[in-house]
A and B are shown apart, each in its own frame.
Chain A
Amino acid sequence: MKTLWNNYRYLLLRRTTQIGIMFLYFGANAWGWDILIGNLSSSLLFGMIPMSDPYAALQMLAAGAIMATDLLIGVAIITFFYAVVGGRVFCSWVCPVNPITDLANYLRRVLGFNQIQKKQPASRNMRYWAIGLSLIISFALGVTAFEFVSPISMIHRGIIFGFGFGAAAILVIFLFDLFVLKHGWCGYICPLGGAYSIIGKYSLIRVHHDADNCTACMKCKEVCPEVQVLHMIAKDTEPVLSGECTNCARCIEVCDDDALEFSIRNLRSGS
């Protein structure tokens, strides 16, 4: 169905959760709210539920830090949620970098960059190399390597505690995605996204493709930030099983033929 709501419902929901989460963090620092304190590296929900970034904790382990109980519980909660339920939803529903890269890629589409350069001269496996490198450097230097360069952290800390020169991180990612590499940061380089791809590989929530309804208009492939996960479009009726799918649901919205929908793994597909 082609209605405005139908074509943007998940996008609106995602922007709401992204802004809402950042607003709660901001409120905690600015006005002393205690709903959600901390930031995306580690936080406390309702003053009692710890949540911690598993990839940051892995770097700490490599750096030789002693792991505190609160941290391990927080890591377990986050890992459990993304591994069992959400998949890689952090990237499209939580991370404040997502609106920036979405804007860059929207401009790319509008300005027709994608018609000029169809193939991207890079490998999407760079993010897994980046994970490996970050762990080696963390081990060698005894500090959490990615956490000291992460533009993601600069941006969410910037929103909550003030940017300083951290606002430059926004510009760097925006320009990189706009002019250098399509979906470059989130789809190729970001090791945090890579970590959540691995964690979310077997999660329950999946986008399901129905080839019978598909008219092969390829609108979904046009908008998908991880287009390799949509290899079955117009060919096979099956769910999107790659962990690299962020469940952003843009493909579901842009499909006017009801060929894509959220589903629960194993219930509809039998896979």
Chain B
Amino acid sequence: MTDRRNFLLNMARSIGLAGLAGLTWSAYVDEVTASTLILRPPGALSEDDFLATCIKCGMCVEACPYDTLLLAKPGDHKPIGTPYFIPREIPCYMCPDIPCVPVCPTGALDEKSVTDEKTGELDINIADMGLAVIDDESCIAFWGIQCDACYRACPIFGDAITIEYEKNERTGKHAFMKPIVHSDHCTGCGLCERACVTEKPAIFVLPRENALGKAGDYYIKGWDKEDEQRLKNAEAKTTTTEISKKSAMDSLNDIGDLY
């Protein structure tokens, strides 16, 4: 074979191999980073930015005094090497000095997001690790059995979870004491999930992205001056529907395409 043929063949092989490797590699990486049901340490950037920024050094995991944080291992079915926690096993105990955040060398755990703007001090109460959600079908308090385990366990006592009283029509003389989670106070620490007495927790933490819906800019609380500001974001969208060019008579006579 000539040198030129050899060269062309080698080039073609290299490109073929690179294409094969690149596609397999990117397909794999895309799959393993697709899991969104994962609870991150306090101060974590949004999941997309977090995956680009976390260098997987595990220093937050080592800084955690309660062994809450884990580093995802192969087989954990989480984006490999990134920190997460399982509240039912060990929740976040919300240390006031938040040791896991300042040690992050890359800013994937953003100190600013857990710093009080006025005092300039770390404030774990503004962390957004997730949001507790209640399954009212398995929560025994919603059955009428008295239980306030989650309410008592909540570190933001009285704000993140409140108890709502309601008459129990079944007995006619008792009250329901229903726990309600408030998303503006809940940090997603998971102490409630840990405390929940049911076999599988009836209150559990989900990433905010998964736990919350979004009304959009078209539905406004008209009685709330602040909420009305959102109207400014709403865009007008004009849609036109094409008018049928057939005569009205045809539309009556034409049975359409039934088959």
Contacts and interface: CB of A to CB of B under 8 A. Distances in A.
A147 B56 contact: yes
A133 B107 CA distance: 26
Interface in B26-81: 26, 28-30, 32-33, 48-49, 51-53, 55-59, 61-62, 71, 73-76, 79-81
Contacts of A68: 104-107
A60 B52 contact: yes
Given A60-B52, A66-B53, A148-B80, A154 B59 contact: no
Contact of A133 (B25, B73, B80): B25
B105 A29 contact: no
Contact of B76 (A28, A50, A74, A164): A164
Interface stretch (A34-42, A101-109, A237-245, A248-256): A34-42
Given A143-B33, A164-B76, A153 B106 contact: no
A143 B105 contact: no
B105 A168 contact: no
Interface string A27-51: 0110010000111011110000010
B34 to A, nearest CB: 10
A41 B79 CA distance: 16
Contacts of A144: 51-52, 55
Given A60-B55, A71-B105, A164-B75, A148 B62 contact: no
Contacts of B53: 60, 65-66
Contacts of A154: 74, 80-81
A232 interface: no
Contact of A157 (B14, B18, B71, B104): B71
Interface stretch (A7-15, A134-142, A195-203, A214-222): A134-142
A64 interface: yes
Interface residues of A, number: 55
A58 to B, nearest CB: 12
Contacts of B57: 38-39, 41-43
Interface residues of B, number: 37
Given A142-B48, A166-B74, A149 B55 contact: no
Contacts of A133: 18, 21-22, 25
B181 to A, nearest CB: 32
A61 to B, nearest CB: 10
A165 B26 contact: no
Given A50-B105, A70-B105, A160 B58 contact: yes
Contact of A147 (B18, B81, B107): B81
Given A60-B53, A63-B52, A161-B71, A145 B58 contact: no
Contact of B73 (A44, A64, A134, A161): A161
Contacts of B14: 123, 129
A65 B48 CA distance: 10
Q: Which of B17, B76, B80, B104 has the most CB of A within 10 A?
A: B80
B52 A64 contact: yes
Interface in B149-207: none
The 4 closest A-B pairs by CB, nearest first: A164-B73, A165-B75, A42-B57, A68-B107
22 contacts: A28-B62, A29-B61, A29-B62, A43-B57, A60-B52, A64-B52, A68-B106, A68-B107, A70-B106, A70-B107, A71-B107, A123-B14, A130-B21, A136-B22, A141-B33, A142-B48, A144-B52, A148-B33, A149-B28, A157-B71, A164-B75, A169-B74
